[in-house]
Chain A
């Protein structure tokens, strides 16, 4: 128990809990912004998995770090796009509720 930080399984379980919490939030939230927050949790779980395998299993420890950096870049692009999308949808429909937005036609 006291050396939990030096086992691969510990990090995998932490990542799994973050992933499951992200799924929970995706289903439960009633707004696009809340769903975006949950998506970031899922991405974070994936990054922890990459870093954990990188630390304990891979021969070259730079590869996992590079992948995690790429995930961060993708997450930044995704957040920029989604936030502006939410603003555009909000301007048209005056709501943030996913079930109230039926189509995206102009």
Chain B
């Protein structure tokens, strides 16, 4: 079971991506919990996530997230803008899995 947390300003646009990622996970037969939150809530929700992915428009907050993420030992990265724009659930899911494995 992997737990993937997504964050953007209000958790709106990332939630579009969440549904696509869930589809991608399902088709692979993966068990995954994927959810999106607003930027502040991410600091709280990080505790129960395996990885945090942030929308590319919030990448200026990456440093702040990384500091907090150290406490939980989880990786943080911003989502590639092209995959974000295409709402490409499959490639973002792969990226998340790569980050967790590292």
Bound pair (A, B): no
